[in-house]
A and B are shown apart, each in its own frame.
Chain A
Amino acid sequence: MTSRAVEDLLRELAPQVLGVLVRRHGQFYACEDAVQEALLAAAVQWPEQGLPNHPRSWLVIVATRRLTDEWRREHARRAREVAVAVRQPAYATVAPPPDEEPPSGDDTLKLLFLCCHPALPVSAQIALTLRAVGGLSTAEIARAYLVPEATMSQRIRRAKQRIEAAGARFTLPSPADRDERLGAVLRVLYLVFNEGYAASSGEALHRAELTAEAIRLARELRRLLPDDGEVAGLLALMLLTDAHRAARTGPDGELVPLAEQDRGRWDRDAVAQGVALVTEALTWSSPGPYQVQAAIAAVHAEAPSAETTDWPQIVALYRVLAHIAPNPMVTLNQAVAVAMVDGPRAGLALLEPLDADGRTAGHHRLAAVRAHLLDLAGDRSDARAAYLAAARATTSLPERRYLQARAARLA
């Protein structure tokens, strides 16, 4: 078996194994460490020695052994005189018979809710989700987020401490909390996706793998919660966005805007899957923000070119989105769509209140959209000034390059 195939299998098994341990022994902190060690052992041994007959049980047994070893060390530290208590290895009594329990999807769900606990800052929720549910190593997560491994390891350690301190339980949230907690889980998966998607082609591949990981986890979540329209919507949105991957950067890694992308290079399979998912979800679910954004992406995906896009339909969808999830960033995108239907001046008028909104005033996105609309309106000098203002405000190198190039065209 190739190490790549082993890795895929380990990622799939990681949350199941952790779920079994936490359910049996509690102590999320210690169990999570033990599972990481077991995954590491498997990643080394399996490609060389072949898969064990029951990979999941193998991991459960090895992780349990690590856990009990840790307990014994702890115990020995506390009471060296009770040597007799450690003579019999504890795992001999707690190790399960192979494949005693079927994999439980509930465990993965509980883990997701635990990792996205409201007591944690979002950056910690992300790191913990990738490690505990995604089965990524600390080193892999650190590389993907461009921070030193020691920093990431502290972040994860701290997150686990906070979860314990908050008295979080390995259970499904109560119906009253469920929507909010699921919202946090969806947001974490979406942020992981975006982190990977925003990485330009010249970058280390580790970041692009975040996109694949987010899609994999969203698929898993969809399997566990098939009746949730927003879960379907998020997965559809990811698939439809990721379908642009090959077309969104030029040969030198420069950003290519949606309107100028070679649509022949879009991933038609991903588009078809995404469109089918969101279309189906919208027939039975009341539309939430992810579904509406996926629907907008679907309308773009079905148009052969930017000009033939059904812009009135997109404007209508943005109106729905602005109603259910009002946000100035939505208004920005809405302004672009309105400009395509009613002309650039109508779009510009929509931007005006955003100058007074603390969330968007001075934001490079506002300046960039304004520049684009002024450009469409033929106001070259104001458009150029707005492109330059946007270039100064962004902290992204590819964006700055794109915006400066736009400004230069108008000089």
Chain B
Amino acid sequence: MLLIWNRPGFVEELSEAERNAIFGEVDEIMKELTESGELVGGEALAHPSQARTVRPAASGGTEITDGPFVESKEQFAGYLTVDCETPERAAEIAARWPDVRHGFGVLEVRAVMEQAGTEM
């Protein structure tokens, strides 16, 4: 799974041409992954200002607050699930993502756990 972390609101600072170019890059990668049969799924998340965080309250029970879980420059923005031959190939796809190429954020490549297991 490729986890996309970027600076919220960076898109607002771009010109329309820059935005279109970035969306074009994403479309191109998605098309390629669809054709190669590697794309499994993915979702983009709404702005972190819309987030709510649910945590255990000090007094017992739960506490719900507005805003994301971690205060940091980069926030979790979405994910992409790919099924590829090697971890290197997954990293290669991540390296092509516009957030990485243009310095808006980072992609974290994580293996997804499987239900299967071999005899030990």
CB atoms of A396 and B37 under 8 A apart: no
Q: Which residues of B lie under 8 Å from residue A202 when comparing CB positions? A: 115
Query: Which one, A147, A372, A394, A399, contacts B83 given CB within 8 A?
Result: A147
Asked whether A207 is an interface residue with its Cβ less than 8 Å from the other chain, the reply is yes
What chain A residues lie within 8 Å of B119 (beta carbons)? 244, 248, 255, 257-258
User: Are the CB atoms of B83 and A397 closer together than 8 Å?
Assistant: no
Instruction: Judge whether A203 and B116 touch: CB under 8 Å.
Output: yes
A397/B40 contact (C-beta < 8 A), A147-B83, A368-B120 known: no
The contact of A152 among B35, B37, B85, by CB within 8 Å, is B37
B88 at the A interface (CB under 8 A): no
- Interface residue from A203, A372, A396 paired with B118 (Cβ < 8 Å): A396
Q: Are A395 and B112 in contact (CB under 8 A)?
A: yes
A253 to B120 alpha-carbon distance, docked (Å): 14
Cβ-defined contact, B116 with A396, below 8 A: yes
> Is B111 part of the binding interface, using a Cβ–Cβ cutoff of 8 Å?
yes
Interface: B117 (CB within 8 A): yes
A398 at the interface (CB under 8 A from B): yes
* A124 within 8 A of partner (CB): yes
Also in contact, A198 and B39, with CB within 8 A (given A121-B85, A122-B85, A154-B34): no
Bound form: Cα–Cα A152–B39 in Å: 10
State whether A154 touches B37 (Cβ < 8 A).
yes
Complex-state Cα separation, A157 to B37, whole angstroms: 9
B117 contacts which chain A residues (CB < 8 A)?
198, 200, 255, 394, 396-399, 402
B residues less than 8 Å from A273 (CB atoms)? none
A202 to B114, CA, bound (A): 12
Total interface residues on B, CB under 8 Å, equals: 20
A397-B36 CB under 8 A given contacts A121-B85, A255-B120, A402-B120: no
Known: A151-B37, A155-B37. A396 touches B113 (CB 8 A): yes
Nearest-neighbour CB distance to chain A for B104, whole angstroms, equals: 28
Q: Which residues of A contact B35 (CB under 8 A)?
A: 154, 158
Cβ of A258: which chain B residues have Cβ within 8 Å of it?
119-120
B residues 45-67 touching A (CB-CB < 8 Å) = none
Complex: chain B residue closest to A255, CB-CB: B117
Q: In the bound complex, what is the Cα–Cα distance between A199 and B115 (angstroms)?
A: 7
Contacts of A372 in B (CB 8 A): 120
Determine if B24 is an interface residue (Cβ-Cβ < 8 Å). Answer: no
Within 8 A of B (CB), among A387-403: 394-400, 402
Q: Mark A205-249, 1 if CB is under 8 A from B, else 0.
A: 001000000000000000000000000000000000000100010
- Give A60 to B37 CA distance when docked, in angstroms: 30
Residues of B within 8 A of A137 (CB): none
A-B contact list, 30 entries, CB within 8 Å:
A121-B85, A147-B83, A148-B40, A148-B41, A151-B37, A151-B38, A151-B40, A153-B37, A154-B34, A156-B37, A195-B116, A198-B116, A198-B118, A199-B116, A200-B116, A202-B115, A244-B119, A255-B119, A255-B120, A257-B120, A368-B120, A396-B116, A396-B117, A397-B114, A397-B117, A398-B116, A399-B118, A400-B113, A402-B117, A402-B120
